[in-house]
């Protein structure tokens, strides 16, 4: 298990914030946008609904919710101030609010949101169960989740290619463009340390979600977890 020190992780994301979007597009060859769009299609935001984007970073998921339904309201929270600062100029509507907050101690009353998302944030949580229980707490009964996280492809050939890219090329390009010595070495380590698909499903269920599905995206490089809080 790698150590997940919240203060250190927050600082790391603040440090890379100015180059974060550029590196996302570059390192995923633009596919990350499609993954976010696919997650929000599953969430199916409705007009007048209120949605929480946990670990919103520079706000791409919050923006995608708005793009798919401009009549939904979105709140994005993140503990890395600089990520939010980089996100703010992208926000084109008062229906979207970004603010500072810790996913493990969400600053909202229970039963506030119709749905919640978190893209590539949960593997950074110092306590995954606590973070997922917090998301569950702030959802209304029947509220939905759509959570994206990096996974490791199940196919041996694809996994070999992917691990070569992820552990050799990506840290090199990431370090070069971001100037950060560790952030893009931490990325593959945190992904490889993350629970596999079947365990992930169990963890979501242990945290109170039902109808949990884990769908692989792009050969299983990314995974999309959907589910909902039971009505009672």
Distances (CA, A) of 91 to 13, 55, 154, 177: 19, 16, 37, 25
State the Cα–Cα distance between residues 26 and 23, nearest whole angstrom: 5
Does residue 57 bind ligand SAM (CB under 6 A)?
Answer: yes
Q: How far is the CB of 157 from ligand SAM (least distance, A)?
A: 27
Length of the chain counted residue by residue: 232
Cβ distance to ligand SAM smaller for residue 14 or 156: 14
Minimum CB distance to ligand SAM smaller for 60 or for 114: 60
What is the rounded distance in angstroms from the CA atom of residue 139 to the CA atom of residue 133?
10
Quote helix, strand, coil % in the chain, to nearest 5.
50, 20, 30
**For residues 87-126, which are near ligand SAM according to CB under 6 A?**
102-104, 119-121, 124-125
43 binds ligand SAM (CB under 6 A): no
Stretch that binds ligand SAM, among 49-57, 89-97, 151-159, 204-212 (CB under 6 A): 49-57
CB of 62 to ligand SAM, least distance (A): 9
Residue 9 interacting with ligand SAM (CB under 6 A): yes
Looking at beta carbons, which residue is closest to ligand SAM? 57
Instruction: Please say which residue, 101 or 232, places its beta carbon nearer to ligand SAM.
Output: 101
CA proximity to 121, closest of 131, 111, 113: 131
Helix (H) or strand (E) holding 118, with range, is: strand 113-119
79 touches ligand SAM by CB under 6 A: yes
The CA distance from 38 to 13, in Å, is 24
Give the interface with ligand SAM as residue ranges (CB under 6 A): 6, 9-10, 13, 55-57, 60-61, 78-80, 83, 102-104, 119-121, 124-125
């Amino acid at each position: 298990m790698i150590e997940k020190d919240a203060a250190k992780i927050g600082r790391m994301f603040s440090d890379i914030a100015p180059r974060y979007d550029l590196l996302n597009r570059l390192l995923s060859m633009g596919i990350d946008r499609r993954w976010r769009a696919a997650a929000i299609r599953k969430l199916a935001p409705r007009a007048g609904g209120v949605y929480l984007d946990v670990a919103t970073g520079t706000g791409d998921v919050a923006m995608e919710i708005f793009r798919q339904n401009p009549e939904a309201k979105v709140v994005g929270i993140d503990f890395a101030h600089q990520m939010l600062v980089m996100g703010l100029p992208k926000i084109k509507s008062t229906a979207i609010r970004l603010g500072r907050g810790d996913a493990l101690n969400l600053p909202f009353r229970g039963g506030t949101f119709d749905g919640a998302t978190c893209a590539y944030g949960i593997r950074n949580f110092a306590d995954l169960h606590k973070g997922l229980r917090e998301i569950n707490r702030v959802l209304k009964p029947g509220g939905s989740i759509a959570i994206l996280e990096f996974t490791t492809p199940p196919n041996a050939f694809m996994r070999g290619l992917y691990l070569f890219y992820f552990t050799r090329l990506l840290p090199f390009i990431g370090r070069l463009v971001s100037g950060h010595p560790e952030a893009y070495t931490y990325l593959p380590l945190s992904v490889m340390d993350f629970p596999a698909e079947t365990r992930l499903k169990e963890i979501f269920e242990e945290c109170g979600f039902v109808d949990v599905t884990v769908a692989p995206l792009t050969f299983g490089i990314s995974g999309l977890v959907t589910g909902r809080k039971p009505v009672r």
